[in-house]
Structure 1
Amino acid sequence: MKTPDMTILYVRNTAASTQFYRKLFDREPAFDTPYFVSFVLDDGHQLALWSGPDEHTPLPVAATQTATTELCITLDEGPSAIEAVYREFLEKGIEILEPPHDAVFGRTFVAADPDGNRLRVAPED
């Protein structure tokens, strides 16, 4: 079976979410339309943002949904790298849901995107 190569986040406002992820990833989208945008990440995996409407999705996809997704950004440089990314998120004005703390898997923190999708920064397993 083929390995999944794209994660799609349902968003309320594609333009606002595109700006957020452009700033977060410090890169431009690889594919950019009014209702669907994708970023190619360093490992080739794509993160896509989709709001609808289009001929198949008459209402914005996220309009009636509560965000339930958590993306995990893993770092292999240790706790100090996680603290550094936390400071970068604060400087970029990204909402922090959980400040840095120690969990069973190591130092971590959680932020949120404009739609409430959780962004966890954690150590690589």
Structure 2
Amino acid sequence: MLSADITILYASNVMKSADFYAGLFDITPVEKGPTFALFVFGNGFKLGLWSCYTVEPGVNQIASIPSGEIVFTVQDKSEVDALYQTWGTQHQVTVIQKPAQLDFGYSFAVLDPDGHRLRVCFLEEEA
């Protein structure tokens, strides 16, 4: 059976991005070097950071328009607000959407140092 359990983001400075994610999620990478870093979350999800200068096959190193985002879910709306406050005051994030009620739930979105979109969301049950 096919499964997907890892996302890899290309980073211009892997060490800087690894430090960013370590602080943001209060997690230590299981691997960290100048060209690749890997985080494993409690639920088994893996987040890899690969240098945009060494990834094979190579990628266009000119900034592109973001075409997706990583969504991190929480158990209730208060966690969305709490993480928004924590990330906004203790971490170097660029807020692109303040907490808001959307069609699928309550969420906010930020950018990491390389411009990747990160969303925190409380997904609401459909009636």
Contact 1:10 1:62 in 2 (8 A): no
Structure 1: give runs of 5+ residues left out of the alignment.
Answer: none
TM-score normalised by structure 2 residue count: 0.85
% same residue: 34
CA deviations 1:3-61 (Å, max 9, x no partner) are 1121100111111111110111111110112111100011112100001544945x6x4
Residue of structure 1 in register with 2:112 after alignment = 113
Residue 81 of structure 1, CA deviation: 1.5
Residue of structure 1 in register with 2:46 after alignment = 46
SS of residue in 2 equivalent to 1:80: helix
Aligned-residue RMSD, C-alpha: 1.9
Contact 2:15 2:33 in 1 (8 A): no
Alignment partners' CA distance in 1, 2:26 and 2:55:
32
Alignment partners' CA distance in 1, 2:116 and 2:100:
19
User: Is the alpha carbon distance of 1:55 and 1:40 closer, same or farther for their aligned partners in structure 2, counting shifts above 3 Å?
Assistant: closer
Moved more, 42-51 or 88-97: 88-97
User: Is the alpha carbon distance of 1:56 and 1:22 closer, same or farther for their aligned partners in structure 2, counting shifts above 3 Å?
Assistant: same
Alignment partners' CA distance in 2, 1:82 and 1:56:
36
Q: Which runs of 4+ in 1 moved over 6 A?
A: none
SS of residue in 1 equivalent to 2:29: coil
TM-score normalised by structure 1 residue count: 0.86
